[in-house]
Amino acid sequence: MATVTVDQQRLILNSFAAIFQNNLVSKDLVTWRKFNDEMNDRNGLTVTEQVTPDYTTTFTTNGVANLTGGVQNTTFGSETFKLDQTIGSSMGWGDFVKIRDIGAARESQALRKAALRLATDIDAYILGYAANISNSWLGDGVSAVASWDDVASGYTRLKENGVDDDGNLRAVLSYGDKQALGADVLADNASLTDEGAGVYRDGWDGKVAGIPTLFTQQLPSFTVGTRTATGALTSGTASSTTTYESVCISGVPGQFKTQLLPMTIGAGTETLVDGETFTIAGVYAYDNRAKKALNFLQPFRVVGNFTAVGGAVSPRVYPAIITSGPYRTVAQAAGNTAAVTFKGAPGAVLQPRFIANKDAVIINTADLIMPATGIGSRKALTKVPLSVRMWQNSQFGTGDHEVRFDVAIKADVTADGRLRSVRINGS
């Protein structure tokens, strides 16, 4: 085995990082944050961040507003994030020792495939997470997004949830959707206007309903639980309303503004799966800006996996049922034994598309510690605050010479990030 110089190691790592970064298509869909501390491969890092409270205003017709009732509650919430995950690839060193100049690096198929594999797997991880966070899910959960209206309805829902169109919205659809949308554009431009002719000649691309759109083959499938398609809240559920102060502090990632909600979902050991959505009869969403009920039932998302006992279960759900104050989520409380309707048939395989603001999901990362044995080096990327660690090592017992490339990366939903995303399908 040829000796590998320090310059050669640097060349290999820099080339790997460049290929990896240029092929990471999900980098603009999320918010990135790098911790200052190095991450131990096993223990990880945990951080808790403050969530600023919201406030209400008081109107009066004469003089100064009456505040004798006291100053409004200014409880600060908190959200916890944990970085405890690495993604990496490893291979034999033999294919890399011949890379001694930039030309060889550019021509190395081994180097390119290793970098592409890491980028592809991280894209799949980020897309899989981002596609599953929302409590809103429009459409049937199965059908392709085949019209402008399918996307526009998602945009409308985001605006109803108070999400600003600040240039950071992205739609993520499948290539099958792209074909269907192209057909829709052609159908609406049968006379082959400039737009229709362009679609006919070049295919369709770009924005849908004014939203920059990414087309991918890596949209995840989603299998719902074995629960029945409908269920019911248990008696006494009307008392399950809560307050923001009770649910705004969470020591567990992803549990900000969630609560446990008792219901019946069958007769035996039926299951609910993380990411499932449902509505409750008569429980409408609430617009805190306009101070009025919205014209659709508040969607709820299951947070975690749950198994019923005798059909009874108390899943953790988002949002919590809050009926007053600046954090109000519903127009009215849930009635005792109110009907619950889930998205999808029992055991159905669904494939959501989604629209999200990049602030909905945060990708936490940190520099991995350098190895105690072998030869290690690290390269910081330029387009995202992420570093790649290369670790070259030889096994005394087997005589194997190995190299691996690793990143520390963990996706988390931000506080109320579920409101800044919507899952969409056709119908």
User: 371 has which bridge partners?
Assistant: none
User: 317 has which bridge partners?
Assistant: 259, 302
Cβ atoms of 28 and 170 closer than 8 Å:
yes
Output the pLDDT for position 190: 52
Q: How far is CA 369 from CA 5, 29, 41, in A?
A: 22, 27, 7
- CA neighbor of 407 nearest in space, from 375, 377, 367: 367
Low-confidence ranges of the chain (pLDDT < 70): 1-5, 41-43, 55-74, 95, 98, 100, 184-205, 395-400
DSSP state of 25: T
Q: Identify residue 74 by its one-letter amino acid code.
A: T
Of the chain, the end-to-end C-alpha distance in Å amounts to: 60
How many CA within 13 A on the CB side of residue 240?
A: 26
Domain-wise residue ranges, the chain? 6-59+75-130+368-411, 137-222+351-359, 223-349
d(CA 287, CA 112): 50
CATH architecture of 137-222+351-359: 2-Layer Sandwich (3.30)
Kindly report, residue by residue over 352-401, the tens digit of the pLDDT: 999 999 999 999 999 999 988 888 899 999 999 999 999 887 766 666 67
d(CA 133, CA 87): 21
Q: How far is CA 102 from the centre of its chain?
A: 37
**pTM score, two decimals?**
0.88
- CA neighbor of 51 nearest in space, from 345, 338, 416: 416
According to CATH, the topology of domain 223-349 is Elongation Factor Tu (Ef-tu); domain 3 (2.40.30)
Cβ atoms of 185 and 195 closer than 8 Å:
yes
Output the pLDDT for position 366: 92
Output the pLDDT for position 263: 96
SS3 28: coil
Output the pLDDT for position 372: 83
Fold identical between 137-222+351-359 and 223-349?
Answer: no
Output the pLDDT for position 187: 64
